[in-house]
Chains A and B, each alone.
Chain A
Amino acid sequence: MFGLSRKDTLLLIFVAIITFAAPILMNPFPTESSLAQFNAGYPDLMQRFVIFGIFAIGFNILFGLTGYLSFGHAAFLGAGSYACVWMFKLLGYNILPGIILSVIVSAIFALAIGYISLRRSGIYFSILTLAFAQMSFALAYSVLGTDMFGLKGGLTNGETGLQVYNSDPQIFHSDSAPDLPHLFGIPMRTTEVVQYGAWEFQFNVGFYFCAVVMLIAFYLSIRIFRSPFGLMLRAVKTNQNRLNYTGVNTKPYALAAFVISGMYAGLAGGLLSAMDPLAGAERMQWTASGEVVLMTILGGAGTLIGPVLGAGLIKYFENIFSKINEGILKGWFEFLPDTLGDAVVWVLYFFTGSGWHLTLGLMFMLVVIFLPGGLVEGAGRLFGIGRRKKKTPASKTQAAE
């Protein structure tokens, strides 16, 4: 179906079902129960799942296929965010022009940065991309955020972040259209709350919009993975020298992968702004670049489902871990004797709440040390699939047709 093999079609359908059912699946605990804090079915959190999923899917096209490790992909996320807010300011709150522009802007940006960075490979490439991203961050934070060309607050509005003001032109804005991001009049913020017994589920327009976009992005990435183009990208990772002597010009292939992944990042950035019309420079910081790397390797670089899985897990844990405070911990360990309970709470407290980054860093290390192939490979090993020889796409029969 959709021109995919049977296995890939099933994967796509599976991801689609999970995504569309997320508002239910993510809220397995009744609202009043003590476990409700593990629920993740809130619109803004679920939007993040899918948006960062797009970011990671795109990153995987570069890192997973070609092996080029970019440490500066947040620059494209940020550029996309700014571009989208600018469309809100100039044209109005319909999100389509904004999202289209964020993809275009990040593509141009990625073409320029990629063209230069790809002149070097290995660690030099990583450091160059990191330097470019830090430079973009510094520029967005300072000089591009000062008044220029008669623009108050410049292109990025510096520390405050770019946002929409009443005085902005918004030339296509009509009184009938909502005064916040919308798609042809349907506000992104609209949420249908459904009570079902003790449970409560929130169905949010913005989430479903992002989910559809993610599924399209995922579908396109499967096509790239399975195409001759994707095969060439994997060959770039495996042996560039041989590929050159095979009559293939490797540089444009790597650059194409870089630009495509930059466009995915820009799309994710645009969607972030479409959900919440505010763009700040911190989206370009190296921590954001590091986060997408982690998502990809945690799930499994070079696998299809890995990055989506990694993005979901990281964002889920980020939300849960940072919500847990001392009070909640105390509540959990009440059953322990006082001193022991206090000790446990004291230790766990380092890893939760504002200590979430410690957990993140540890996870990063543990995955790289023990599970370089990510969770997908780990699961494969667990179920004994890993022992079988890796099957290649060409090995499957034509049964799918």
Chain B
Amino acid sequence: MSDLLKLSLDEVSTKLKAREVSATELAQEAFAACRAAQPKLNAFTAFDEARSMAMARAADDRIAKGEGGLLEGVPLAIKDLFAVEGIDTSASSNILKGFKPTYESTVTSKLWSEGAVFVAKTSMDEFAMGSSNETANTGPVVNPWRAKDSNESLTPGGSSGGSATAVAADLCFGATGTDTGGSIRQPAAFTGTVGVKGTYGRTSRWGVVAFASSLDHPGPFAKTVKDSAILLQAMSGHDPKDSTSLPNAVPDFVAACGGSVKGLKIGVPREYRVDGMPEEIDRAWQQGIDWLKAAGCEIVDISLPHTKYALPAYYIVAPAEASSNLARYDGMRYGNRVEGSDLNDTYEKTRGAGFGHEVQRRIMIGTYVLSAGYYDAYYLRAQKVRTRILQDFHDAFGKVDAILTPSAPSAAFALGAKSDDPIAMYLNDVFTVTANLAGVPAMSVPAGLDKSGLPLGLQVITRALDEETMFKVGAALEDSAGFTHKPEKWW
């Protein structure tokens, strides 16, 4: 691998525009790096070399004519949840194995129209349900990071583990993810990458396989805060095909990076200091507070009193919506069918064989909480608790401009360490899930390494529609952290 792939998206764009490197050459390198890493990292679910090279040649033609978009010639990886026309899109599930969309998701259309080049589909937890990428039908993705003096395989986090790995291992210049409870920010923290979700509705959900519609946020993985702003810029905007897509104009996210944070009020919520949190997470958080203070921010202690109820509320709302969304996989119009003795038997056999254990568990929880007699006790109550959580944020943002927290309660853990205990796995999202329930923008920025040499992330949360302040604070943290560490190549 040459050093080209180590560049940031912004740096490589400059080289492409100056024609110091061709999109074709770049796509070949990225494609070869992905292929070579696949046997060890297992990050990818589909390739299409002919497609990648054709897109790269078209980008070169546009660059030669002095044309080209925001991402012209830049190789990107796409989470397997996004429909890419003609390329296997299976949400890492056996029920959709072999599904080739005849249409393109809005987000990927936008990326292609800005000149991006498709390099691969990335693995994920099945239907985005998981925090370790272990529920993928193609097996777990392996984190390129390893603890010092250890060969143990670690999780890249989930559900967007393949995308996080692809960016962290310098196999491409950015990737798409989706974040329903933390599925972009937790893997970003585990892999030393930047992960962002905008305000709910900033990016269209059309053509993205649905998990929990009121919580799903498509967003980017990137190597730097500025790269993440470029990618979110390209992905955002109103889409008539998604009625929850925001009609608001998209601000200039890129311009916000690097703006002064002097005088900004940064909230530090006391409820995020949870029991049993490793001391190093606490230390990284304190370091972040000190950095922002030194950059001229005012630090304010705040309270988000309903934080502890966010995860239990999420585990009602998300399975309820998932059980409705996944009802469509009945083996009739698409997906795989297992023939039974009659129609119901066919449905049951199809779904029993097609969905993995975690997905079945969540469908059953969702079915139960929505079943006759339980709707008020569970789903309605959870949606009211969600209003309380949103109100907590409203109150906090009356006093502060942004909130700083750790991104995850630990660094990357060993594959298999939590797979027997669903609730232990769910607790990974304890810091991220609140922003999904409230629909506010949030990002994870690499903050440093822990004692064993594994990356830790800090999370910045801002008010709805104010991604600009999030990027500003994120860039300030990145500046102070000077995080340039890369995993040592072993794959």
Pairing of A with B: no
